[in-house]
Structure 1
């Protein structure tokens, strides 16, 4: 496992930027993230569409897996009154001042999202990277 700190800048789409930076790595986990957002789009448990939260928001936690075909991220944010909301991170979460993340790169693995008939959703598939044979 290799660790990689990552900083996102004002105006960045949180999920889009994470996916773009980590797409080439094959397998990664966002271990933790903090920072601020001006807009959060979170899909709450059991709901089909994300809700939009706007204003000065603090990222309290951010974690999840990233594969070449997308991310599965969960986040908790607090608004200016200290109310906390959390859920699945959808595209359109906009960084206000900064987002600071610690990412674990897993070069010995490849992640993919594949349909799981038991859940009905694309779920994480984990495979080892094939070793090159010595000639």
Structure 2
């Protein structure tokens, strides 16, 4: 495992920036260990709901974690607003950095992540291959 700290800047799309960073690093598998910072817009898909909900406010990221592959990410995040209310769910595109986001990525060079249909869940789920399984 290789640690890769990352700072995002105002105006960046959180999910796009993470996916782009993983591609630029040539990584085939990574996990977001943790992330903190602030957003001006959060797009979160709540459990059981198909479309994301947009939150527009000064938001603090309390937690950010998930997997990132060259083909995309599966991220969960919790944020709080100025009244201390907490919201959490799947991270969709459109989460815009307000001042900064600081992230610790764990790169897994001996693994390859992909998303593949899972007949049991009916969703695209994480598929993990180690280096000896690569084609």
TM class, shorter-length: over 0.9
Match of 2:10 in 1: 10
Q: Calculate the TM-score normalised by the size of structure 2.
A: 0.95
User: What SS does structure 2 have at the residue aligned with 1:127?
Assistant: strand
SS in 2 for 1:15: helix
Gaps of 5+ in 2: none
Give 1:130 shift: 3.0
Q: Which has the larger radius of gyration?
A: 1
Question: What is the RMSD of the two structures over their aligned residues, measured on CA atoms?
Answer: 0.9
Q: Distance in 2 between matches of 1:128 and 1:48?
A: 32
Give CA deviations for 1:45-91 in whole Å, capped at 9, x if unaligned.
00000000001000000000001110000000000111000000000
Kindly state the Cα deviation for residue 96 of structure 1 after the two structures are TM-superposed: 0.2
Q: What is the DSSP-based 3-state SS (H/G/I as helix, E as strand, rest coil) of the residue aligned with 1:22?
A: helix
- Large movers: runs of 4+ above 2 Å: none
Asked whether 1:32 is paired with 2:38, we answer no
* Structure 2 residue 108 is the aligned partner of structure 1 residue 120: no
Cα deviation, residue 20, structure 1: 0.5
Q: For the residues of structure 2 that align with 1:28 and 1:52, how far apart are their CA atoms?
A: 26
SS of corresponding position for 1:25:
coil
Distance in 2 (CA, whole Å) between partners of 1:41 and 1:62 is 13
Distance 1:11 1:45 in 2: 27
TM-score (norm 1): 0.95
